[in-house]
Structure 1
Amino acid sequence: MKCSKTTNRLISVNHPLPLTSQQSTEIRFILSIFASLFLLIPYCYIPAAFCVFLVKERITKSKHLQLVSGVDMTAYWISSYIWDLFLWGILTILIMCIFIMYGNETAQVFVGSVEIFFCTAALTFGYGLSGLPFAYLFSRFFNNYSSAQISIMAIFFLTGFVAVNAYFILDSLENTKYLARRMRPLFLMWPPFNVGEGLIGLSRNFFEREVLRQTKSPFSWKVCGRSLAFLYGLSVPYFSLLLILECSNDGGSGGSFGRLLRWLRDFMSRLQLQLQGVKYDK
């Protein structure tokens, strides 16, 4: 402190102690949790963007023109799916490059080792593998591609960011743990929830490895294995359901299988009319 007859001045110098390695790890863990959650927000935009072209092809009758020209409905959807997966693969590579650009120190949770790097890449690609047919199913309800894109983004936001936050909040409270466990089977049917849970699993695994000294593979069932299994496994039923719905529509192809589905649909409609007492001409 310096004092004079005319002025009084107080000079304070602060030299805080550096963070310990454990404190630094804990801060990095908390930041990685937030990063995992907020990654789900841009992730919800990606599948919706792929549906724009499908809806546009349908409303402009481009899809109808292909079908009447002899293109099989199954071939149409398989080719669209493979092309979108090819683009998603490029997108996965770009996302992983961005993680690497942030550096091992900042993005250590997601690219800290070769095994973690491939686990993050597998989560991202698996999200597209099941997320694309999941989005295709919702695109069938829209006749405007702008509305389809916005609505599908909202659906992925609710089934991803909102669902993940809701589950972990409910699971952290003693009075609502039972509710979280009951809702979990439903949440696991949603690809956005699975990728969010997988990213949080990587963050938790980082904390256990650096602080608790517990070594687990990121591909183990309790870390990311379950999320990966659902992400890759759900692609088959979602895409199969899409083909069934498309082939059962009037104008759908699908060969004998498609004709059988359309006959079953008409049979159920006639049966419902009979039960209601409505007469119809055979």
Structure 2
Amino acid sequence: MFNNFALNSPVLVLSIVDSLLARLSTKTNLTFHVTNHPLPPNSADNLTNQNNAGGPALILGYAVIVSMSLAVAAYTNFLIHERQTNSKHLQMMSGLRPLTYWLTAFIWDSVCFLIQTALFMVVFALFNVKEYVDNANVALSLVMFMLLYGWANIPFVYSLSFAFKSATKGYTMIVVYNILTGMIGKITVPIIQQAADDESSELSALIFSIFFPTFNISHCFSKIYTNEYFRKACEKVDCSVGFLKQTALMCCGSDDELLYSRNILRDVSRRGLLPYIIILCIQGFIFWLPIIIIEHMEQISAFCTRFARNSNKISDSNSEV
């Protein structure tokens, strides 16, 4: 396979130069034979090659998109089936209020999602994803993000369920929608980063996160992995050594110079996740609005009708005057 790292070139060039100088000085055909035995890459070398963390982080992001899409879309099956069989209509006719209906559904689905969140962490532990399970704070951060995703995306799939009359079709289409919207952002953001700069890619990631919660959690998982990878690498650098403190700024410098964020949850820069947390919190409230509007459509229509009639009466009175 092609290797664009010319590890042997410096040694070969040095051997040729030394041989030529020796021949010129001694007037003999001296030849130096050299062997290259490079030391294993140190922490600074690993940090320089940032692609070491990019590959696994990207793959984990794709896995989160697919798994979360399958998990959350399943909560619409029961809702669509109840509406299809008129079971929900009978409950409403019996005096059940829409608030009670949706609140009980959300509580039950939240409990199920909490169990799925625990299983996700078990999977990470079984496969020994060290960046996710070695640090308790990182593991709790992942749990928090998954719960925030449930808070935001469960009402979102509830809203999408009104567009389908078949539970099977609804589940399939919602899964496809979540996967496609997550994958599009996951592919687009790295391309923008390579073509433009980090600021442009971060802006595009924020835009995708505002509209697509599945991309949001995938991007957060990737960022947490990359941040923890660099933090672990920097732990091996002794910043108390004066020489390293001056040269290894990526590990020993200021907050702006570091490759990782010391507190990723509170960081508002491109390395932090605070904007994404705020987006998920707000989305949870916004995605309930379509459900409220649909369930109270008759009351809203009646209010609009009364308002229109009152406006007509006022205009007629003004015209008579």
Same fold (TM over 0.5): yes
Task: Indicate the percent of aligned positions where both proteins have the same amino acid.
Answer: 19
**Partner of residue 218 from structure 1, selected from 261, 264, 274:** 264
**Partner of residue 179 from structure 2, selected from 145, 151, 157:** 157
Q: Does 1:108 align with 2:130?
A: yes
Q: Which amino acid aligns with 1:239?
A: W
Unpaired runs of at least 5, structure 1:
1-15, 251-258, 271-282
**Partner of residue 294 from structure 2, selected from 241, 245, 265:** 245
Q: Decide whether aligned partners of structure 1 residues 65 and 205 sit closer, same or farther in structure 2, where only a CA change above 3 A counts.
A: same
Task: Report 1:82-231 matches (<5 A).
Answer: 82-103=107-128, 107-174=129-196, 181=203, 184-185=206-207, 187-209=209-231, 210-211=233-234, 212-213=250-251, 214=258, 215-221=261-267, 222=269, 223-231=272-280
State the distance in 2 between where 1:265 and 1:161 align: 41
State the Cα deviation string for residues 224-282 of structure 1 (Å, max 9, x = none).
Answer: 2222222222111111331122221x5xxxxxxxx2x1324657999xxxxxxxxxxxx
Moved more, 153-162 or 261-270: 261-270
Per the TM alignment, residue 198 of structure 1 is displaced from its structure 2 partner at its CA by 0.7
Per the TM alignment, residue 37 of structure 1 is displaced from its structure 2 partner at its CA by 2.6
Per the TM alignment, residue 170 of structure 1 is displaced from its structure 2 partner at its CA by 2.1
TM-score normalized with structure 1 length: 0.75
Q: Which amino acid aligns with 2:82?
A: E
Q: Decide whether aligned partners of structure 1 residues 21 and 176 sit closer, same or farther in structure 2, where only a CA change above 3 A counts.
A: closer
Task: Report 1:48-63 matches (<5 A).
Answer: 48-63=73-88
Q: Which amino acid aligns with 2:188?
A: A
The answer (yes or no) to whether the contact 2:65–2:179 under 8 Å persists in 1 is yes
State the distance in 2 between where 1:100 and 1:63 align: 41
Q: Which amino acid aligns with 2:142?
A: T
Q: Which amino acid aligns with 1:88?
A: F
The answer (yes or no) to whether the contact 1:100–1:111 under 8 Å persists in 2 is yes
State the distance in 2 between where 1:224 and 1:109 align: 16
Matched residue SS, 2:159: helix
Q: Which amino acid aligns with 2:153?
A: G
Larger Cα Rg: Structure 1 or Structure 2? 2
Cα RMSD between the aligned structures? 2.9
Task: Report 1:13-52 matches (<5 A).
Answer: 20-22=41-43, 27-52=52-77
Q: Which residue of 1 aligns with 2:92?
A: 67
Q: Which amino acid aligns with 1:65?
A: L
The answer (yes or no) to whether the contact 2:185–2:208 under 8 Å persists in 1 is no
State the distance in 1 between where 2:305 and 2:73 align: 32
TM-score normalized with structure 2 length: 0.67
Per the TM alignment, residue 110 of structure 1 is displaced from its structure 2 partner at its CA by 1.8
Q: Which amino acid aligns with 1:154?
A: V
State the distance in 1 between where 2:308 and 2:122 align: 53
The answer (yes or no) to whether the contact 1:194–1:227 under 8 Å persists in 2 is yes
Q: Which residue of 2 aligns with 1:4?
A: none
Higher relative contact order (CA 8 A, sep 6+): 1
